[in-house]
Structure 1
Amino acid sequence: MKLFKAGLAGALALSVGLASTNAVATERITVNIGSSHPVQNIWVWAMNNVFQPEVDRILEEQGGDYEIRWRENYGGTLYKFSETRRAVKDGIVDVGMIGTVWEESDLPLQNVTYYTPFATDDHKLIIKIFDDLSQNLPELRDSWHRENLVHLSTLVTDSYDIYGTSQIKSLDDINNMRLNAPGTSANWLKGTGAIPVEGGLTTYYTNIQTGVTEGTLSFASGIGPARVQEVAPELTRIGFGSMAFGAVAVNKRFFDGLPEEVQAAFREAGGIMSERHGEHVTKTSEEWLAKMQEEGLEIHELPATEKQRWVEGLPNLAGPWLEANGEDAEVVLKAYFDKLRENGVEPLRAWDSVVR
């Protein structure tokens, strides 16, 4: 009996010792993650609801040697929409949403979709293409690295249209119309007589309500949560297409200092985030369009003849972008349009046929 008790005590002691050893072996890594937008936003939703739990799950399945202590900074608590690149580049956060649409001077190659409108409204395909190109095309991958960033997951919009205070029946209706057009999307108004005004989803409502603008170029999954339809109850479907809006990226110095297992978990979770983000954009855009219609949103289609008039009347949008960014831009544009066609998409305008 004494031998049994002694054996039991020894086993318990060994068990406690092993547990203590395992606890000590778990390395906790603090990761600051954040965005300029709230978690209800389609891009931030993917970070908070997919990326974080997936990293945790993957590390646990790897054996639990590493554990992430997340410090969340969502909703613009640390920086605003115009500061997303700098916030991640400078380490204000370690992982963050970057809106490349606002970063034309520092991340011009990432804006290729905004220089080639009317290409495709398939946002899932855009994610697939730009996840591939951002990680495997040297010109695009290295442009992220030069900004001390590592691309993890592509963020997209559903198709851009115009939400306004009045219906647009023809191209002539937008002459002298003031429209919020974020970043390079202002190019889509060239030659139309419309007046582009810079802004973001966090500013549209007030801009339209106060008369600064009469509408905005935007997309259902963003407009709905921002309640912009309350002040811009007329949606005219133009079909500018879905855009590669930006990415979830990680500070490169921070990433390079992580253990290989954690780096692998970040990359794997980034891929899962892309897939779930695409599904979420589909679901969110459909739900919000239905909800907005119930609340009084009127939906109109720009006549096909007027749309073609718009497409053909645009100046050479890709040309100046190619001139400004050289051979790397040519490579990215060609790779993008090759991928579109490989997937059965023929854009309404062959922007890749432009010669510098």
Structure 2
Amino acid sequence: MNRKTLTAASLTALILGSGGAMADTWRYAFEEALHEVQGQFAQKFKEEVEANSDHTVQLFPFGTLGESADIMEQTQSGILHFVNQSPGFTGALIPEAQVFFVPYLLPQNQDQLVSFFRNSKAIHELFPPLYEQQGLELLTMYPEGEVMLTTKAPVASPEDLNEVKVRVMTNPLLVSAYQAFGATPTPLPWGETYGALQTGIIQGQENPAFFIESTKMYEVTDHITRLGHNNFTTALMANKDFFDGLPEEDQQVIRDAVDAAFDYIIDYQTGLSDESLAKIEEAKPSITITELTEEQRQPFMATAEAVEQEFLKIGGPQAEAILEQMKADLAAAAEAAGGPVADETPTEEAEAPAD
């Protein structure tokens, strides 16, 4: 090769290896449709990146590149640059992420919840090194909405869940939580859930109201129960090599876009659960929507300690440190919001997604 050819080859390698000193297209996959919460977050992120850089963001909603496990593998391998995925699925890679499925750990009060996600040391300091070990840059975690249980028969106590098969994500701690509730947890990919409910293979599943409404899950259920046990959490990650290879100015563009999308999605969710439940009732007037009283919730809440102990067993080497820091963060969030720590019944508030 002559000197000119070597120089051109070196320049090409430098551009590709840098992850994008020049204008690039960044590929971003998520677990929901464009009109759902993760899709709204992704569109705001795309808007911010493209307004503040020469890069473009290509979005891949749920199903276009496979199931959750597929898009995670594609991100780790560098085929995708960004992935938005619940800790429910990353729990197999990062056992500590299962902490988000300890029931009644997260508050129902929206101000406390948002303060926790904004300021949590567990999220912003303890989790990133764990994600890094899996080739991922943790960019943010955010709430999507109160998780609600859908079933064929009414539920007012753990006894009502006896032998009820409830679809759960492929997450060991979520399985433990529903076992503690008295149900028979049945891990299934999301794409099989509607059909399994329709044919009676399973009798229940959990998700935020917006997701139950948008996926028409209410068509194959008769009862929606608000146990108050959790809020659906999701996380945005980048391929670690890609992110580290970017110049600082591009990394800052991404961080700023994440911050803007976080603020946007919190506002977007305000009142979303109530709106979604109203749409469900309009589409299916026969459906029953029940919010359990504090007294009715007590037997479910009593299972939280056992699930927490299970988390400490299976949640990885940092499980205890993560749990202790999260509890400290939640206490700080409650103090900042000026309210009691976890089990305050929410007023109409921000919500949203899931799986």
TM-score by length of 2: 0.80
Q: CA RMSD in A?
A: 2.5
Tell me the SS of whatever aligns to 1:78: coil
Kept in 2, the 8 Å contact 1:43–1:155? The answer is: no
Tell me the SS of whatever aligns to 1:160: strand
Partner of 1:307: 297
In 2, Cα distance between equivalents of 1:179 and 1:216:
5
Radius of gyration: which is bigger? 1
In 2, Cα distance between equivalents of 1:124 and 1:88:
33
Kept in 1, the 8 Å contact 2:150–2:225? The answer is: yes
Partner of 1:353: none
| Deviations 1:72-91 (CA, angstroms, capped at 9, x unpaired) | 33232223123343221111
Tell me the SS of whatever aligns to 1:308: helix
Partner of 1:337: 327
CA shift in 2, pair 1:146/1:326, >3 Å: closer
CA shift in 2, pair 1:83/1:318, >3 Å: farther
The partner residue of 2:157 within 130, 150, 170 is 170
CA shift in 2, pair 1:290/1:243, >3 Å: same
Kept in 1, the 8 Å contact 2:117–2:142? The answer is: no
Kept in 2, the 8 Å contact 1:38–1:44? The answer is: yes
TM-score by length of 1: 0.80
Tell me the SS of whatever aligns to 1:159: strand
Identity of aligned residues (%): 20
Q: Does 1:157 align with 2:144?
A: yes
Kept in 2, the 8 Å contact 1:170–1:303? The answer is: no
Partner of 1:44: 39
Which stretches in structure 2 are left out of the alignment for 5+ residues? 1-20, 335-339, 344-355
Per-residue deviation, 1:301: 2.7
Q: Does 1:249 align with 2:221?
A: no
Report the residue type matching 1:346 in the other structure. Answer: V
The partner residue of 1:196 within 185, 188, 192 is 185
Report the residue type matching 1:55 in the other structure. Answer: V
CA shift in 2, pair 1:201/1:78, >3 Å: closer
In 1, Cα distance between equivalents of 2:325 and 2:35:
33
Per-residue deviation, 1:133: 4.2
Report the residue type matching 2:235 in the other structure. Answer: A
Aligned length: 315
CA shift in 2, pair 1:70/1:134, >3 Å: farther
The partner residue of 1:110 within 93, 97, 100 is 97
Partner of 2:194: 205
Kept in 1, the 8 Å contact 2:30–2:38? The answer is: no
Partner of 1:58: 52
Per-residue deviation, 1:219: 1.6
Tell me the SS of whatever aligns to 1:300: strand
Kept in 2, the 8 Å contact 1:84–1:99? The answer is: no
Tell me the SS of whatever aligns to 1:167: coil
Per-residue deviation, 1:174: 1.1
Partner of 2:353: none
| Deviations 1:177-230 (CA, angstroms, capped at 9, x unpaired) | 111122332222223431111135543322211111111122202111111011
In 2, Cα distance between equivalents of 1:135 and 1:253:
23
In 2, Cα distance between equivalents of 1:139 and 1:346:
22
Per-residue deviation, 1:51: 0.2
Kept in 2, the 8 Å contact 1:119–1:346? The answer is: no
CA shift in 2, pair 1:282/1:210, >3 Å: farther
Report the residue type matching 1:189 in the other structure. Answer: Y
